[in-house]
Amino acid sequence: MDVYGLIGNPVTHSRSPPMHEAAYDARDITARYVTFEPSKDAVEAAIDGAAALDIKGLNVTIPFKQAVMEYIDPDPLAGRIGAVNTIDFETEPPTGYNTDIDGVQRAFDHHDIELNGTEAVVIGAGGVARAAAFALSDAGASIHIANRTEPKATQLAQAVPGATAGGLQTRDRVESADILINATSVGMESTETPVPQTHLHPNLVVFDAVYTPVETTLLQQAEAAGATTIDGAWMLLFQGVTAFEHWTGEAAPVEVMNAALRETLWDRLRG
């Protein structure tokens, strides 16, 4: 039996296992997907341990997306973004990919949102923000990054062609923007929002990377303002689809994975 999984800290919120195991069943692959929570200073030991245990692949989440790059060989896209969320242990050394960028791009594509020529505000400067900023920039959007720690926003903006940066006070750019992406954990398991409701407007597309709950307060307020909304489960789905295809070499059963993911997210809400 092949083993795949997720490393992060914490990982109790993850809804990836049912999605991936549904895909294995659909493709008749004998495999399991499990979660691992190493201490925040043990990323090297986690990668070495996974290789020693013949784990075939790992997804990577907070806080390890940048730290793992020192211990694997990132492909050119992951190297350019500066973050890895998928590792393939079938190569030596293990290869790191960034499938979050696919998650962002395909989420917008799925909702028929044209990004070229738009103005976007990204809230946050971590691993998800990096993928989102590069995805939008590559699609022809203009990017502004607003983050609580302004130097981190500036550092990210310097890596993304044409991007600008500022502190959280620059969130007011949302009022004239076409796209808003929440790439922070604000709103996860809470009613907090990363952007004041007064900044939201009907011509805005709001994409919230948070997926627990699926309908965050930000998305509820955006819908009330007449904006188009995209929940974070779409990004989770499509980054998982690309990871599955890297690991197995097979086409992912997208509808099966989406159904399994949505079921577990709504079951959790009902529970």
Active site residue 40: no
Which tokens is 82 given?
A: 């500066």
Which tokens is 83 given?
A: 């973050």
Contact call for residues 100 and 239 (beta carbons, < 8 A):
yes
Q: Which residue in 10, 179, 161 sits closest to 80, CA to CA? A: 161
Q: What is the rounded CA–CA span in Å between residue 181 and residue 194?
A: 10
Contact call for residues 207 and 105 (beta carbons, < 8 A):
no
Pinpoint the alpha helices (H) of the chain. Answer: 16-26, 43-52, 76-81, 100-110, 127-138, 150-159, 217-224, 232-248, 254-270
- Cα-only R_g, the chain: 18
* Catalytic choice (40, 56, 65, 152): 65
**Amino acid at position 177, single letter:** A
Query: Which parts of 37-90 are beta strand (E)?
Result: 57-60, 73-74, 86-88
Contact call for residues 107 and 132 (beta carbons, < 8 A):
no
**Amino acid at position 209, single letter:** A
3-class state of residue 207 by DSSP: strand
Taking the CA atoms of residue 108, residue 114, residue 115 and residue 117 in that order, the dihedral angle to the nearest 10 degrees is: -170
Q: What is the rounded CA–CA span in Å between residue 201 and residue 83?
A: 32
Catalogue the active-site residues.
Answer: 65
